[in-house]
Amino acid sequence: SQTIHQWPATLVQPVGSPLSLECTVEGTSNPNLYWYRQAAGRGLQLLFYSVGIGQISSEVPQNLSASRPQDRQFILSSKKLLLSDSGFYLCAWSQLAGGEQFFGPGTRLTVL
């Protein structure tokens, strides 16, 4: 069966520090991968998606970047965090375009 992992689960970082969040998927190959951010009490904002290794599309201009170094690995990064980067970050995968997405447990990021 397929599983999706995200780590860390929680993270507190000072403004200006770097960021690396990792997401890995098991039990499937060539998935579409997604990074979302969720502000408190709000819906999901799509940040990046990837349809293959090395293929990254950005949905909104921001202080973050994403990479997909392996088929089932998706990394969200920042060189210098801003206060506005705080939020709940969710990684998801799907096998079929437009089909259901499977979400990881999320990372709660607090930038102080």
Partner 1 sequence: SQQGEEDPQALSIQEGENATMNCSYKTSINNLQWYRQNSGRGLVHLILIRSNEREKHSGRLRVTLDTSKKSSSLLITASRAADTASYFCATDVVGSGNTGKLIFGQGTTLQVKP
Residue 53 near partner 1 by CB under 8 A: no
How far does Cα 68 stand from its chain's mean position? 11
What is the rounded CA–CA span in Å between residue 107 and residue 88?
6
Task: Verify binding: residue 74, partner 1, rule CB under 8 A.
Answer: no
Q: Is 14 in the site for partner 1 (CB under 8 A)?
A: no
Contact residue for partner 1 among 44, 53, 71, 73 (CB under 8 A): 44
Closest CA to 7 of 107, 92, 76: 107
Tokens of 103: 């979400």
Instruction: Identify which range of 14-22, 36-44, 60-68, 69-77 contacts partner 1 by CB under 8 A.
Output: 36-44
Total number of residues that touch partner 1 (CB under 8 A): 28
CA neighbor of 64 nearest in space, from 91, 30, 31: 91
From 11-19, 66-74, 77-85, 98-106, span contacting partner 1 (CB under 8 A):
98-106
Task: Evaluate the omega torsion of the peptide bond into residue 8 and state whether it is cis, within 30 degrees of 0.
Answer: yes
64 scored as a contact of partner 1 (CB under 8 A): no
